[in-house]
Structures are given as structure tokens and as C-alpha cells.
Amino acid sequence: MESPAKEDAGGELAMEIESSVTAEDWRRALSRVVPSVVVLRTTAPRAFDTEVAGASYATGFVVDTSRGIILTNRHVVKPGPVVAEAMFVNREEIPVYPVYRDPVHDFGFFRYDPGAIKFLKYDEIPLAPEGASVGLEIRVVGNDSGEKVSILAGTLARLDREAPYYKKDGYNDFNTFYIQAASGTKGGSSGSPVVDCQGRAVALNAGSKSSSASAFFLPLERVVRALNLIRDSWDGFGTKPESVYIPRGTLQATFHHKGFEETRRLGLRNETEQMVRVVSPAGETGMLVVESVVPEGPAHKHLEPGDVLVRINEEVVTQFLRLETLLDDSVGREIDLQIERGGVPLTVKLQVEDLHSITPNHFLEVSGAVIHPLSYQQARNFRFKCGLVYVAEAGFIPKQPGHFFNLSNTLQCRYMLSRASVPRHAIIKKFAGEDIANLDDLIAVLSKLARGSRVPLEYVKYTDRHRNKSVLVTIDQHECPMDLKCQYDSENLADGCFKMQTDDEIVVDGSHSSEDSLVEKKRRRVDEEIAAEGTLPSYGDLEDVKGDLLMHPSNGEGSDLARTTSSNASLAEQVIEPALVMFEKLHRLFYELCSEVHQKAKSMLSLGKASFIYLTLHEPALRRGDSVYLVGLSRSLQATSRKSIITNPCTAVNIGSADCPRYRAINMEVIELDTDFGSSFSGILTDEQGRVQALWASFSTQLKYGCSSSEDHQFVRGIPIYAISQVLEKIISGTQGPFRLINGMKRPMPFVRLLEVELYPTLLSKARSYGLSDNWVQALAKKDPVRRQVLRVKGCLAGSKAENLLEQGDMILAINKEPITCFLDIEKACQELDQSIGSDGVLNMTIFRQGKEIDLIVGTDDPHSAVRALGFLPEEGHGVYVARWCHGSPVHRYGLYALQWIIEINGQPTTDLETFIQVVKGLEDGEFVRVRTVHLNGKPRVLTLKQDLHYWPTWELSFQPETATWRRRTIKALQSTTA
């Protein structure tokens, strides 16, 4: 770029020309420009480097019609995987492929097949960087704010603005001037051409500052160089060029242009300033000053912040353009830099590094995390050396219930890094005790680990760079494997995408087995005894066993993999082991929680050694005023014990519906205590003999503020043990049902029947006001003199057998002629159906509706789902429910979001998941399909969606009861993609 003084002089000439420009001139120019401007719809299927996964709109424009080259911004082309389409002004849409993205500056190229445009006549927009001058009237033609073909007017105000600073942990341009104008561009106009009255592009729109309506344009000198090199090396769509290499050199140092008043304060000598002014006869106003140096780069320990650059190879260099030209022409060679440091002249020799060598072009995807070498961009932001192992995405755990899946049975993915609280932007330093210097080191360690292993991981954050963080990571990849090593093929420009390829050496699955620990051997012995005798054995002789733990229901944040924690009598040792879920409602039997319980419980332990006790389940219901002991583990895994008093042993849980389907406890009574222990402490409630009487568990609800805002709230209550013991007895006694593998042994899981109706209690005094007879009031009060209530219907689950029989407001008086007063009575009636031989699964119910007693026969169902609990299902054969969508996926790009059912695909009904799978099997990669949906609010919709089997193959996750694991089955994928 020329000096600012030259630009001002040129500006006077430009203003003279502009004064003669007419509206007709602009009309003719824009009529040529608009057909060549395209709307770019881009999707980043994976987080990579400075960008996150997601879909967005932007702008580009054709700069070569014969080769089909589109110019846009680097942050539009993306530094990593990208899928994109370009839409011309006549609504012709074609796929485009990345050709080149500059490692530093905000420009890149897409390519398309020119022969695919059938109905539009358009010309390429010529690039004229020399046309930019202060005072030049310009038009920005693009997709501003998502509006197709917006034209914004402006005037170039500065040609020497510093590169805009966007964010501290994302992409920022540097070592270049930017052009500034007050055109007020916004999102969607990125990549728009900045054209003059002749229809030439004089700059590239890159960013803006909304507070001042300022727009920032990238100069085009380096863009022209890159475009010419691409043209010289390649011809014809789909033809592999001999070489597409664009030389880019770097010293891994950032320079700022400082005025002479600033360089004098930095110690620049007068004779040096005079020499520079003389060499630049147009009137130079400043010099380049070192701003920062990347650790262990070519300039590290040679250049320091504040150094003033004077010469490179005996040539005075005061402008970014000349600096980059010299570096790009000297890749792999040494150059001499003359600098002044505090008024002292110095000469240093530096090796110019290939900028592409420190720009990552591959990544590892493991258990939902994206990991790759640290790029120059982020190394500069974080002040770390290039090439370290960088976490671009740790794996997203949704706050709201739901499941990430392409085509799957319901499953919430387990992300091993995010579950261990390893954040995005982390730098991995050690893994499983081994130093991690590069990505290959991490792959080598992962290949040695068995699934389920818990290993330490050390990482550092750029915000706290002086302290290493240490966490425990559970290797868990069998449900979200995608263990892929992906490489970008920079030479295959016709493809232009990352090659998703499985590396067998890094896939960790169940085939790796570690030796059974003593704990596992003891557990299997216990399981064998249970299977043989049908009863629980005494645990007093298992002195070395650390124990299992019955997990309480997960809180709002939801830990989806249960872990058991226990301690020995002296609390000198703690063990954390994985726990298999035996029953969805019960989780797992309490064998031992801790040893520091109250005084009488301590007498049951053998102090000083690790012993095992069995806490018997205590059936008698608690009463108001009873003393209980809350025993559990704190967040720091310390055993604690607190005494409290029961204030209400049978409070009905009332959790309202949330904004979207999620688990919520219904038809449940809980225990309230006189002490608020907060939501961070959970465990069990015991009596003075140490007998378990309840679980102290957390519940999640959503508090709404006004009409638009809401937030999750947690509260902790006691779950009476009788709600668990009845089903637990069936597991212990071996009641027949579906088998599940528990610690190597097949265990029958009991059938559970439910009346899929949400109920709530009403006091008998209010029920009398609704017309309930005195005879029923007396009968219900005699049955339960404590509660003195009747259950009313709040709503039925959609699709349940009770949906068309019971109505809102019905009072349930009796089942099988037995009065009903609480939720437990309902559960007992349903459980009796399981025990009766030849039961048809129906209940003989007596209800009270609008002043009349009615006898009904109501069927029972399997456990309900959170979606049907909202009371709505589509009329047309239900469909496949979309529970969760992924950022950067095709559904993100085309708007097929969650909370709706897919009713049809290309006119074919999809009544269930199996039918849906059969329909989509016939769809090909890149094929547009027509999808008919129905939202939870009942609103129908039809949209189109294009499959992307390259980054998003179709696969199914299904639970295997025989092995108690989830298995992944690939339904359809490209040959280059291995799942």
C-alpha cells in the first residue's frame, strides 16, 4: 500500500472525478455489478480454530467467470470444514467449494462450476486496489442484515486504519491497513464488493462497528496476488492443478504502524527519522513497530515489543504491503532486519517461516471433542507457541433435556472433556501421566486406553496461563465414537473439504479390556450369590470392597453417567467407579454410602479398616416430628452427617411444564425437613439405627419471569424409600422381565405399569364444595386421616389408554372398590396387575365427574415420555420426534429444529423410527428432500433439506439389553466416511 500522504493527494483527484459522476453512471455500474454478487449460505459442520460449528449467511462476488471463482472473507470460507451454496440474483443456487483461505488476512475464494449457471448473464467484477482513495464515493452491494441485494452508499474516509480487533479469543486480522467508511454495514454483508462508479471493486467489506456506523474494508493488493497465482496454476472445473501453493512468509511477529511522534518517544534517533522522510519523498508519517512476538517463533528472543523496524535487506520498510511482499518472497530463507531498540541500532538475522506450515489442516474428533494443533491465529491471541494440542470444541452438553442424534433411539451423548469441565480453548499438557507436545502424542496415549478408564488430564487456559488445571477424564466413546482423524486436501480443489477418515489406532472401544480389579471380582461374586439365592448376602466379610452407591435423581445440570463414590471407615481412601443403571427409576441399591454417620451408626462399622455393611430398607412411613439423619457426600466427596426433623412427610411435588419437553417428577410425594441444607448436598435419610428411610434428592424446575424469560431452579427433598423398595424387591427376587447385563450377570428387570395420568391432591373440604358426597368424604378421611385428600386429574398423556376416558378435573375415588387417597395407592394398584396371572392390565375405577359417580375401566401403559406428557401428538400417525439438533448440521442450515415431529419425507409417511429409517435409506448425498413437520404447538410446516453424508452420516444408536450398552449402527454414509 502507498503512503497515506500519496493517498490524500490521490483523494483530491478522486473528488474532482466524483463531482462529475451522475446517478445514471451509478445505475449503469450497479446493473453490471449486481448480477455478479451472490448470497453465500455457509455451514461449519465442526468447530475449528477460531470458528465454532454453525450456519450463517454472507456475501461473495464473482472475480473469474471462466474458472468460476468467488471472492469473499476468510471468516466466510472458514479455516476448517465448510459446506456452502451460492445463490445468484435470479435464484439459481449451486454448491461452492473452498479454494483458498488466507492464514492471516480476511479474504478467501470459493469455486463453482460455471456451466451450472443456465439462466443468468453476468460478468466478473474487476479488482482495482489502486482505485481506493480518500473521498471516493462507493457502494457496498451485498446481503446486509440478511436482505438480498442491499446497496449501501458511503465515502472512503481513511486508508490507513488499524486492522479491526474483533475478539480476544477469535479471528483478528493484523499486519495490514484497513479502509474505513461510514456506510453502516451489518451482519450478512461480509464479503461484499466495495465498488466505485465504474463498477470496479476497490476493497472488500470485512467488518463494522455498530456504535459508530463505521465499516471496515480490506485492501485488495494481496487479494490480487493470490488470485493471479491461482489462475496461473489451474484451469477448468474439477481439474487438479499442478500446484496451488501460494507462498506466505512470516516471522510470527505483529507490527503496528506508529506515527513519528510515537517512535520518537520509543527512542528513534533524529538521523533515522530524517533518513526515512527523505527516502519517502511523498511524505511518510510513521514507521512499523513490533507489537508482539509469538513464543518460540522465528522472532522470539530476537525482536521485542517497542522495536522500530528500519530496514529489511538494506531496504527501508515503513508500510505493511512492502513488509509482506518481502516476507512472501523469502520463505525458507534468512533476511536481515535493522531495528532500533530504545535508540540503539541493531541488526538481526531471522529465518522466514512458511505461514501455511503453522496453519492447521487436520483435526482429531474424539467423544464429541474437536482437537487440533494450535494455529498461528490463536497462538498470537493466547501467547502460546504454535502446534500445541488445542481444544477447539470440548463437546456440548445441553442444559435442556434432549439428545444429539442423526437417526437414533433416544440417547444423550457423553462428552468426556466437557463432562470433566475441560473448556474450549484449553491447551492439553499431560494425559494419563504422559507429556503431550503435539497431536500425535495425544493419539498415541488414547490408543492405549480402555473404555471406562479414568485418567488424569492436565491443561492450561489462556486466561489463567500460569496455573495448570488437573481433572479426571473418563474414556467413554462407545456411544459417541466419531473418533476421526480428518485431513484437509488442499490440492483437490474440486472437492475442497476435509476427508473424514477413521484411524484404527485411535479408536477405543469395548475390545480393549483391562484386568479386573479386586473390587470388580468381589462385585461379581456378590452378583453370583444374588443370582443363585435370590436374596442379598451379608457384606460384612467383604473387607476389601469399597462399595456401590444408589445415585439420586440427577439435578437440572444432569450427570448422565452415574458414578459411585464411597470411603472406608477412616476416610483415608476414596474410590470412584462407574455404575451401571439397573432400573431407570431406581438407579442402584445402596450398599454403603459413608462411615462417618451418627454415633449409633458408627457402632456398626469396624473402625480403622475398610469394612462393608448392608443398610436395610426401612418400610414404615415417616411421620411429622420424627428425627432423621441426613448422611451423604459433599461436592468435595467428604462424608457428612446432619440431624433434622420431619415437618411434612407427604408433600405432593408440583413442577409445572417447562418451555420444552424435559423430565419432571409427577404423582410423587416427598419429605420436607425443618432445615434447608441447600441444593449441593444429597444423600440418604436414616433413623438412629442407620436404616435407610429416604433418598435426599434434587429436583429441577423452571421459574418464569414475566412472559419471555425463565431460568432453571433446583430444590432438594426426600424421596420415601417405599417408592423404591417395591420395585427393588422384584429385581432381587428375579421377577421375570427383560434381561439386562449387570456386572457380567444377566438380571431380569421387572415390568412396570403406570396409569399415564397426571394427578394432584385436593383437600376433602374443597372436594365437598365441588359436590362430593359426605359418604365419600367420610370414607376417604377414614382411609387416610393424615392427608384428608382426594386425587384429581390434571391431564392425561397423549396417546395413553386413559386419554379418551378420563377428563381434567375428575376425582379418582376408588380402584377395584378400594378408596384411593394418595399416589402410592395408585402405584400399588398398578403393581398388583403385574402379580396377577392373566391380567389384562386394566383398572376398575370409580370417579366423580360433574356431580356424578362413574365407573370406568381404564388401561395402563409402560412408563411415559416427557413429550407425551404435554398432552399432544400429531393426528396423522404420530411421526418421528426431533428431540435435538446439532450446530453445523444440515438441519441447522435449513431450519429443521427440535420440538416437532417429522410426518413425511418426500410424501412418504414416517409413522415411527423404523419407517423413517427405511425412507431415508434411499436418499443420496446432496439430494434435496421435502420434509413435512408438525410443531408441538400444532403448526404444520413443509421445508426442504439437503443431506450431507460426508460430515453427517446417517446412523442409529440403540440400547442392547444383553450387554447393557448403547451400540451405534451406520445406516448410510459415503465411502470416504467411516463411522
The 10s digit of each residue's pLDDT in 884-902 is 888 889 999 888 988 888 9
524 within some domain: no
* Mean pLDDT across 808-824: 93
Instruction: State whether 841 and 948 are in the same domain.
Output: no
* pLDDT at residue 667 is higher than 80: yes
pLDDT at residue 793 in the model: 95
Return the top range by mean pLDDT from 462-476, 494-508, 592-606.
462-476
In 3D space, the residue among 758, 846, 859, 891 whose CA is nearest the CA of residue 404 turns out to be 891
371 within some domain: no
Instruction: State whether 90 and 211 are in the same domain.
Output: yes
* pLDDT at residue 647 is higher than 90: yes
pLDDT band (50, 70, 90) for residue 41: very high
In 3D space, the residue among 902, 920, 906, 903 whose CA is nearest the CA of residue 956 turns out to be 920
221 within some domain: yes
**Whole-angstrom distance, CA of residue 494 vs CA of residue 117:** 17
Task: Judge whether 664 and 655 are in contact, CB under 8 Å.
Answer: yes
* pLDDT at residue 912 is higher than 70: yes
**Whole-angstrom distance, CA of residue 88 vs CA of residue 96:** 12
Enumerate long-range contacts of 618-627, CB under 8 Å, 24 or more apart: 618/687, 618/691, 618/692, 618/693, 618/721, 619/721, 619/722, 619/725, 621/649, 621/650, 621/720, 621/722, 622/646, 622/649, 622/671, 622/693, 622/694, 622/720, 623/649, 624/648, 624/649, 626/687, 627/687, 627/688
* Mean pLDDT across 461-479: 83
Instruction: State whether 41 and 180 are in the same domain.
Output: yes
867 within some domain: no
* pLDDT at residue 751 is higher than 90: no
- Give the residue from 175, 205, 236 where a domain finishes: 236
Report CA-CA distances (Å) from 371 to 101, 188, 362, 417, 425.
20, 29, 9, 11, 10
> pLDDT: is 830 or 538 the higher one?
830
Instruction: State whether 309 and 175 are in the same domain.
Output: no
pLDDT at residue 867 in the model: 78
318 within some domain: yes
> How does the average pLDDT of the chain come out, rounded?
79
pTM (2 d.p.): 0.78
551 within some domain: no
pLDDT at residue 209 in the model: 78
Instruction: State whether 775 and 741 are in the same domain.
Output: no
pLDDT at residue 412 in the model: 37
Of 73-87, 234-248, 670-684, give the lowest mean pLDDT range.
Answer: 234-248
* Mean pLDDT across 88-98: 93
Task: Judge whether 220 and 204 are in contact, CB under 8 Å.
Answer: yes
pLDDT at residue 128 in the model: 96
pLDDT at residue 186 in the model: 74
Interacting residues of 833 by C-beta distance below 8 A, sequence separation 6+: 753, 839, 841, 842, 843, 860
* Mean pLDDT across 196-207: 94
* Mean pLDDT across 636-652: 87
The C-alpha angle with vertex 606 and arms to 605 and 607, in degrees rounded to 5, equals 100
Residue 969 β-bridge partners:
956
pLDDT at residue 255 in the model: 97
> pLDDT: is 634 or 300 the higher one?
300
Task: Judge whether 481 and 509 are in contact, CB under 8 Å.
Answer: yes
In 3D space, the residue among 742, 735, 724 whose CA is nearest the CA of residue 961 turns out to be 742
pLDDT at residue 592 in the model: 33
| Cell triple for 403 | 439428545
pLDDT band (50, 70, 90) for residue 501: low
599 within some domain: no
| Cell triple for 652 | 405432593
pLDDT at residue 533 in the model: 38
**Whole-angstrom distance, CA of residue 861 vs CA of residue 841:** 8
Please state, for a pLDDT cut of 90, what percent of the chain lies above it: 46
Residue 365 CB neighbours (<10 A): 23
Instruction: State whether 159 and 39 are in the same domain.
Output: yes
Of 180-189, 233-242, 415-424, 715-724, give the lowest mean pLDDT range.
Answer: 233-242
* pLDDT at residue 648 is higher than 50: yes
pLDDT at residue 233 in the model: 81
- The total number of residues shown for the chain amounts to 979
Helix (H, G, I), strand (E, B) or coil at 868: helix
In 3D space, the residue among 920, 908, 928, 907 whose CA is nearest the CA of residue 954 turns out to be 920
Of 156-170, 420-434, 724-738, give the lowest mean pLDDT range.
Answer: 724-738
pLDDT at residue 614 in the model: 41
Of 72-76, 476-480, 705-709, give the lowest mean pLDDT range.
Answer: 476-480
Instruction: State whether 161 and 65 are in the same domain.
Output: yes
> pLDDT: is 574 or 100 the higher one?
100
Which amino acid belongs to residue 780? L
> pLDDT: is 706 or 245 the higher one?
245
Which amino acid belongs to residue 706? G
Task: Tell the burial category of 9 from Cβ atoms under 10 Å away from its Cβ (0-12, 13-18, 19+).
Answer: middle
Of 458-472, 593-607, 612-626, give the lowest mean pLDDT range.
Answer: 593-607
* pLDDT at residue 576 is higher than 80: no
Of 337-351, 362-376, 729-743, give the lowest mean pLDDT range.
Answer: 729-743
pLDDT at residue 739 in the model: 60
Cα torsion for 754, 756, 760, 764, to the nearest 10°? -70
955 within some domain: yes
Please state, for a pLDDT cut of 70, what percent of the chain lies above it: 74
Considering Cα of 253, then 259, then 261, then 264, what sign does the dihedral take?
A: positive
Task: Judge whether 903 and 932 are in contact, CB under 8 Å.
Answer: yes
* Mean pLDDT across 872-888: 82
pLDDT at residue 298 in the model: 96
Query: What domain range is 780 assigned to?
Result: 757-859
- Give the residue from 695, 719, 748 where a domain finishes: 748
**Whole-angstrom distance, CA of residue 565 vs CA of residue 549:** 7
- Give the residue from 437, 472, 487 where a domain finishes: 487
* pLDDT at residue 154 is higher than 80: yes
Instruction: State whether 948 and 828 are in the same domain.
Output: no
How many domains does the structure of the chain reveal?
Answer: 6
Instruction: State whether 847 and 912 are in the same domain.
Output: no
pLDDT at residue 450 in the model: 84
pLDDT band (50, 70, 90) for residue 975: low
pLDDT at residue 665 in the model: 85
Instruction: State whether 319 and 416 are in the same domain.
Output: no
* Mean pLDDT across 957-973: 79
Instruction: State whether 648 and 792 are in the same domain.
Output: no
* pLDDT at residue 588 is higher than 50: no
Task: Judge whether 916 and 852 are in contact, CB under 8 Å.
Answer: no
Which amino acids are annotated catalytic? 75, 106, 189
Helix (H, G, I), strand (E, B) or coil at 935: strand
In the chain, % helix, strand, coil (3-state, to 5) comes to 20, 35, 45
* Mean pLDDT across 480-502: 50
Of 29-33, 324-328, 576-580, 861-865, give the lowest mean pLDDT range.
Answer: 576-580
pLDDT at residue 678 in the model: 76
pLDDT at residue 319 in the model: 93
In 145-240, beta strands by DSSP E: 150-162, 177-181, 193-195, 201-209, 214-218
Instruction: State whether 73 and 222 are in the same domain.
Output: yes
CATH number at residue 435: 2.30.42.10
* Mean pLDDT across 495-504: 52
pLDDT in tens, 372-389: 999 999 999 999 999 999
CATH number at residue 176: 2.40.10.120
Considering Cα of 174, then 177, then 178, then 181, what sign does the dihedral take?
A: positive
CATH number at residue 731: 2.40.10.10
Of 32-46, 277-291, 717-731, 821-835, give the lowest mean pLDDT range.
Answer: 717-731
Helix (H, G, I), strand (E, B) or coil at 114: helix
